[in-house]
Structure 1
Amino acid sequence: MSRLLTLALAAPAVLALTACATATPPLPPFDTASLPAAVQVPAGHRMVLHTVGVGEITYECRAKANMAGAFEWVFVGPQATLQSRDGKPLGRYYGPPATWAAADGSVVTGAQVAVAPATPGSIPLQLVKANPATGAPGAMTGTAYIQRVATVGGVAPSRVCDAASLSQREIVKYQADYLFWQPG
């Protein structure tokens, strides 16, 4: 019986040590200086939060405006979980309008200022001018700009969008880093 008790008491310690040994080390700071000029944050701002958005973007097949008989996949909106760089949940991103909501109750929306090409098969890099934060004071309070960088996936579907698929929706997976900037 004493051997079982010893094993029962030792198991949590072994699990804790295993978790420490396999913990992901923090990632190095993101190099924003190498980003295209179009999506650079104006001078005089500092990055205050770096999140990773993991989720999906919905597209819908619609008729092209002013082009009879032509169709296209149209961006409907994103849904993503915002995480710290080591995977801890921080909030969510959704839209429209583009909205970043922190777990602390602070919320910020914004409007696109510029885009720049990303790697093939990925949504563009983006610079967003933030509106004043709402909700509880917290992580989003004071945000002036948001950059979307390090994008993977998220582009419109490659399958045909035509009269037969009109109004059909497609969901595609994506990931992007969202960098939050404040004055100063």
Structure 2
Amino acid sequence: MKTSCHARIVSIATALGALAVLAACGTAPQKMAMYSQDALPAAIKVPAGNRVAMETVGVGEITYECREKAAAAGAPAAPGQMEWAFVGPKAVLNDRSGKQVGTYYGPPATWEASDGSKITATQLAVAPSGAGNLPYQLVKANPASGPGVMKDVTYIQRVALKGGVAPAMECNAASKGKREIVRYQADYIFWKAA
């Protein structure tokens, strides 16, 4: 009798242990897929000889101001014409698990890691990313300020865009100087030399 009771307890404990292992396997984090540039426009692809060093999701806002339209290169100024002008971004940079790893702000556009290292960059190319979204962007990083994860970053791509374009509301002489904040989200992919 003692042996059969003991055998049942062991059998139940084994079954419960197996259930716990199966439950844990079902909720175990999945390995992330490797980042691919294949579907991106050629203009914003990072050149060969670089590898992805960090992937972040920027969530924040962009400020626009109603201003007199700037003269286009080689064209005369157009007094009295107004437009929504980009003022600057302000966003939190999260890793793929949602943990904050830095911030993005400007001007000038600055990516700052939680470890204090930061970089600015020079725009190389943009490409359309869909109606209502900021364009894709490729920038060449300037030398980093401070040691940390931003050290040796060569390029930054802005991809997976949602929102961020200038407000649809009218910008005219009566609203000159008015500022509007637009929400946006974008992935910022940081590259280093391979």
Q: CA deviation at 1:111?
A: 1.0
- Taking the aligned partners of 1:104 and 1:159, their CA distance within structure 2 comes to 39
CA contact (8 A) 1:26 1:85 kept: no
Q: TM-score, normalised by structure 2?
A: 0.81
Does residue 180 in structure 1 map to residue 185 in structure 2? no
Residues 44-79 of structure 1: per-residue CA shift (max 9 Å, x gap): 100110000000000000011311221000000000
Q: Secondary structure at the match of 1:164?
A: helix
For structure 2, the 5+ residue unaligned runs are: 1-24, 71-76
Counterpart mapping for 1:104-123 below 5 A: 104-123=115-134
Structure 1 residue corresponding to 2:39, chosen from 34, 58, 68: 34
- Partner residue, 1:89: 100
Does residue 80 in structure 1 map to residue 91 in structure 2? yes
- Taking the aligned partners of 1:88 and 1:21, their CA distance within structure 2 comes to 22
Q: TM-score, normalised by structure 1?
A: 0.85
- Taking the aligned partners of 1:145 and 1:164, their CA distance within structure 2 comes to 41
- Superposition RMSD in Å: 1.8
For structure 1, the 5+ residue unaligned runs are: 1-19
Pairs aligned (count): 165
- Partner residue, 1:10: none
Does residue 161 in structure 1 map to residue 166 in structure 2? no
- Partner residue, 1:6: none
Does residue 45 in structure 1 map to residue 50 in structure 2? yes
- Partner residue, 1:8: none
Q: CA deviation at 1:26?
A: 5.8
- Taking the aligned partners of 1:22 and 1:88, their CA distance within structure 2 comes to 19
CA contact (8 A) 1:98 1:111 kept: no
In the TM superposition, structure 1's runs of 4+ consecutive aligned residues that sit over 3 Å from their partners are: 20-27
Does residue 152 in structure 1 map to residue 162 in structure 2? yes
> Percent identical across equivalent pairs?
59
Structure with greater Cα Rg: 2
